[in-house]
Amino acid sequence: MLETVQTTSHDDDILANAMKPANFQKAVNNWVPHDIALKDAWFPLAHSFAVEAKPVRRSVYSQPFYLWRENGVAVASEFHPNDSERSSKSIYSDASGRYPVLERYGYVWGWYGNPANADPVHLPSIPYLPEEGNLPQHMLGTVRFDCCAPLSLENLIDLTHADFLHADVVGDEKMDKEVVEVFHDSETITMVRSCTNKSVAPIMKRFGGVKDDVQQVRQVIRIYLRSHAAIAYGRFSPGDNVQLFHPCVPETRDRTRLDYTMNTSNVKKSNPFRYLMPKASYKVSRQDSYMTSPQSPRYMNPEKRKDLHSPLDEAGQKYRVLMQALAERQAHGDFSYRDNVSADCSDIIGYDGK
Amino acid sequence: MAETNTNPQTLWWAVARSEEVTNAKPINVDLGDQPVVLWRDADGVARALEDRCPHRRAPLSLGCVLGNGMIQCGYHGWTYEGETGHLKDIPNLKSTQKFPPLYRAKSYAVAESGGFVRISENPAATQPAVIAAALPLSGTEQVSLTHSEFLNALYDDPALVIAIRGVRFTPYLATELIEANGRLVMERNCQWAGPRWPAPFIPEFPASLLISTEPETGESKLIVRDADFKELLRVILAPVPGSRGVTQVRWRAKLASHRPGIMAKVMGTGAPFEILSAVDGAALRVLRPSVSVHAEALRQGIIDRRTASSQAA
């Protein structure tokens, strides 16, 4: 079971203090995401199908992760098996240079942090992905962002950006009403956006068989802070639900890898939306990069000028504060999980199994 | 940016040619390391803001110009008015609320004349002198030289940074770099292009290139004249310091309609003037500083006298 460092009362208070209004605003404006590197987390390093006998290379904060299979079982090492001039190993792997690794939801997950603390109980819950994986490859894909992972996730959790950047895919800002709710614990943040009579997503209108001009939308973004992984679950009426797993692996502090899964097995096999929606990520990710790529260098150093915010930015602001609270706690030597990330979150995201 | 000046905030920099600024799509330019977005509002007035949305620091130049002439960030739709930079709308808020004065992007003063859009960091800067007519030919190049290196190359060997159709620059000066009416002025003898006696053996040169530079911005007037003192080509050249040591050079030119002599007429075949975007590094490295040796002292002298004069006033 998890071995944790004894925490102090100071550490217990970090999140509570961070949420106090004065401290909250200070943290929001001290946001330098490139300086945050959280440890003791499972990262979805590769789709399971991508890991075979021949090693593939991944990174977490520039720390090498070589993945391959031995007798069908995925392994992760910081050394390539052909590396005959191994340098001294890091503190993140065992004596033989192997990392803790497990396989679930169609991913090979590697543990970045103290190997002794690795525990499957810290694996994020993803209700709409089968635990054994095995989804068809047309529902999977890889895209990259030229920006740091937290900015990519901050981008995701503020879905008002989609109305402008991705209007030609998911619809514009025209709607009658928009309500945004935000929930959090020490390890996750969840944003629920409910839109009334929103203009129909063009991809649903063109390929998904939706004939109406407006639809009712409930979008949920749930971020597992340490793993930099997000659930993006959308319910559309009329229209099919969208079930996206959106991990943002920080391969380096300023480059992000996204091995996504868009589970469209809920969509009729005769509906082109089932096959096209997963591919929309290639377009949407380029649209995101159009903004996050130039945005990222502007967050590399502390900035005297404060960002301006609107009431719509609550989720992004809380994400900033929660990440900094976790980083501060880890800086104090506390790597424990205060909340259970592997508990089924179906109720939280409103997933009913359909 | 120029290393020294009286007050950099009061300077006017020609950051675009008029035709580059439209209401169809905002453009990005640099003023030193400062990115600036330019566009035209609904009245056709050129506007300039820092190219950075104060919301999430995305470049405003990646957004769009709305029908009402305001600029909208392409990331979350924050919309700014051009003259003051005030935030006017966050579309998703679905309200008509007014935003506090703090909610604004940094704005620049803009002046447009003579086919150039000039900006000043000081919104209260005195408007620059109006140039009546825009010279018809124009262009923009990004040169991988710093602002001062570009000007020094122009003084020491123009052939490294500019080309004038049918004209060959010689090392022989008619006038060394001097101060005249608060500007840095020099004149270089020129030959016509093609097979000619080498310049050292030429008793009389058929043409000359006059360069007159505003000492603080480096904006220069170039005039090619023939031996009869007839103006053949006039160029206004505006170098503006950009990011990573790049200098953005905009220019406008007019070729005289009547140019006596065959070689002067050759100037009208093809492009009469161009800025060379690629600098010959090998030639530049061994270029002996000559004219430019005194340029900085002259420049600083003019600036010091301006400063003393403005303080006395």
Q: What is the per-residue pLDDT across A99-142, written as a single tens digit (0 to 9) for each?
A: 999 999 999 999 999 999 999 999 999 999 999 999 999 999 99
Q: Is A194 on the interface with B (CB under 8 A)?
A: no
Residues of B whose CB is below 8 A from A294: 58-59, 62
CB count in 10 Å sphere of residue A82: 7
What's the pLDDT band for A2 if we cut at 50, 70, 90?
Answer: very low
Higher pLDDT, residue B109 or B313:
B109
* Residue ranges with strand state E in A177-333: 177-184, 188-199, 214-224, 229-237, 242-247, 249-252, 255-262
Record the tokens describing residue B295, joined without a space. 């340029």
Q: In DSSP terms, which residues pair with A183 in a beta bridge?
A: A190
State yes or no: pLDDT of B168 exceeds 50: yes
Contacts of B93 in chain A (CB under 8 A): 310-312
Q: Which two tokens stand for residue A244?
A: 């996206």
Q: Report yes or no: A178 at the B interface, CB cutoff 8 Å.
A: yes
Which chain A residue's Cα is nearest to B61? A291
Residue B3 has pLDDT above 70, yes or no: no
Does residue B59 belong to the interface with chain A, where contact is any CB pair within 8 Å?
Answer: yes
Distance CA A5, CA A12 (A): 12
- Are B93 and A310 within 8 A, CB to CB? yes
Q: Are residues B103 and A308, on separate chains, in Cβ contact within 8 Å?
A: yes
In the A/B pair of chains, how many CB contacts fall below 8 A? 60
Check if the beta carbon of residue A285 is closer than 8 Å to that of residue B47: no
The minimal CB distance from B56 to the residues A163, A178, A307 is found for A307
CB contact under 8 A, A311 and B75: no
pLDDT, tens digit (0-9, with 9 covering 90-100), for A40-79: 999 999 999 999 999 999 999 999 999 999 999 999 999 9
Neighbours of B263 (CB within 10 A): 19
Which residue in chain A is spatially nearest to B73 when comparing CA positions? A164
Residue A111 identity: W
Q: Tens digit of pLDDT for each residue in A226-271? A: 999 999 999 999 999 999 999 999 999 999 999 999 999 999 999 9
Q: Determine whether the interchain pair B74/A173 forms a contact, defined as Cβ–Cβ distance below 8 Å.
A: no
The pLDDT tens digits of the residues spanning A161-188 come to 988 899 899 888 889 988 999 999 999 9
CA distance B242 to chain A (A): 17
B159 SS3 class: helix
Work out the minimum CA distance from B77 to partner chain A, whole angstroms.
6
- Do A342 and A123 touch, CB atoms closer than 8 A? yes
The residue-averaged pLDDT of B68-97 equals: 91
User: What pLDDT does B90 receive?
Assistant: 92
Structure tokens at B127: 């408007």
- Would an 8 Å CB–CB cutoff place A309 in contact with chain B? yes
**The CA-based dihedral angle spanning residues A29, B48, B276, B273, taken in that order and rounded to the nearest 10 degrees:** 180
Q: B93 CB near a chain A CB, below 8 Å?
A: yes
> Helices marked H in chain A — which ranges?
9-18, 21-29, 149-157, 160-165, 167-170, 202-207, 273-276, 280-295, 314-331, 346-349
Could you give the dihedral angle defined by the CA atoms of residues A335, A338, A341 and A345, in that order, rounded to the nearest 10 degrees? -160
* Predicted pLDDT at A274: 95
Cα separation, B284 vs B153, whole angstroms:
8
What confidence category does residue A9 fall into, taking pLDDT thresholds of 50, 70 and 90? very low
Helices A314-331 and A21-29 cross at an angle (nearest 10°) of 90
B206 has a pLDDT exceeding 60: yes
Whether B34 and chain A come into contact, CB under 8 Å, resolves to no
B29: distance to nearest CA of chain A, Å?
Answer: 15
- The residue of chain B with its CA nearest to that of A298 is B57
Does the distance separating the beta carbons of A308 and B74 come in below 8 Å?
Answer: no
Would you list the domain boundaries of chain A?
1-354
Q: Which of B56, B62, B77 sits opposite A290 (nearest CB)?
A: B62
Residue-level pLDDT at B129: 85
Query: Residue A9 is which amino acid?
Result: S
CA angle A177, A179, A182 (to 5 degrees): 170
Tell me the one-letter amino acid at B115.
G
Query: B93 to chain A nearest CA, in Å?
Result: 7
pLDDT in tens, A298-343: 999 999 999 999 988 999 999 999 999 999 999 999 999 999 999 9
Indicate if the pLDDT at residue B139 is higher than 90. Answer: yes
Q: Predicted confidence band at B125 (pLDDT cuts at 50, 70, 90)? A: confident
Amino acid A10: pLDDT:
54
Closest chain B CA to residue A295: B58
Q: Which residue of B has its CA nearest to A163?
A: B76
Q: Would you call A168 an interface residue with chain B, using a CB distance cutoff of 8 Å?
A: no
- Per-residue confidence at B9, pLDDT binned at 50, 70, 90? low
Note the pLDDT of residue B65. Answer: 98
CB-based contact, A312 to chain B, within 8 Å: yes
Q: Beta strands of B158-300 (E only): which ranges?
A: 162-164, 167-180, 183-192, 207-213, 220-226, 231-241, 247-255, 273-275
What's the whole-number average pLDDT of chain A? 92
Among A189, A251, A254, smallest CA distance to A35 is for: A254
Domains of chain B: 9-120 (2.102.10.10), 137-309 (3.90.380.10)
Is the Cβ of A286 closer than 8 Å to some Cβ of chain B?
A: no
Using a CB-CB cut-off of 8 Å, the residues of chain A touching B52 are 298
Chain B CB contacts of A290 below 8 Å: 62, 74
Place of tokens 């879905």: A159
Q: Across all residues in chain B, what is the average pLDDT?
A: 92
pLDDT band at B301 (very low <50, low <70, confident <90, very high): very high
Q: pLDDT digit string (tens) for B238-293?
A: 999 999 999 999 999 999 999 999 999 999 999 999 999 899 999 999 999 999 99
Residue A279 burial (C-beta neighbours within 10 Å; 0-12, 13-18, 19+)? middle
Interface mutation target, options A303, A310, A312, chain B, most CBs of B under 10 Å: A310
A308/B75 touch (CB, cutoff 8 Å), yes or no: no
Burial of B130 (0-12, 13-18, 19+ CB in 10 A): exposed
pLDDT at B7: 61
Q: Which residue of B54, B62, B74 is in closest CB contact with A307? A: B54
Choose the weakest-confidence range: A58-67, A334-343, B27-36, B93-102.
Answer: B93-102
**Homologous superfamily of A1-354 in CATH?**
Naphthalene 1,2-dioxygenase Alpha Subunit; Chain A, domain 1 (3.90.380.10)
For residue A8, name the pLDDT band (cuts at 50, 70, 90).
Answer: very low
pLDDT value of residue A11 = 54
Could B77 and A310 be called an inter-chain contact, meaning their C-beta atoms sit closer than 8 Å?
A: no
The token duo for A121 is 């109980």
Question: Would you state the pLDDT for residue B8?
Answer: 60
- The pLDDT score that the predictor gives to residue A86 is 76
Which pLDDT band holds residue A276 (cuts at 50, 70, 90)?
Answer: very high
pLDDT of residue A288 exceeding 90: yes
Asked if the C-beta of A177 comes within 8 angstroms of chain B's C-beta atoms, the answer is: yes
Please report residues of A whose CB lies closer than 8 A to that of B55: 307-310, 313
Q: Does B102 contact A at CB distance below 8 Å?
A: yes
- Are the beta carbons of A310 and B55 separated by less than 8 Å? yes
Cα separation, A251 vs A246, whole angstroms: 15
Between CA B83 and CA B81 the distance in angstroms is: 6
CA distance A308 to chain B (A): 5
3-state SS assignment for residue B261: coil
Q: Please report, in angstroms and rounded to a whole number, the separation of the first and last CA atoms in chain B.
A: 27
Its ipTM equals 0.83
Contact B58 A295 (CB under 8 A): yes
Contact with chain A for residue B90, Cβ under 8 A: yes
3-state DSSP of B13-37: EEEEEHHHCCCCCCEEEEECCEEEE
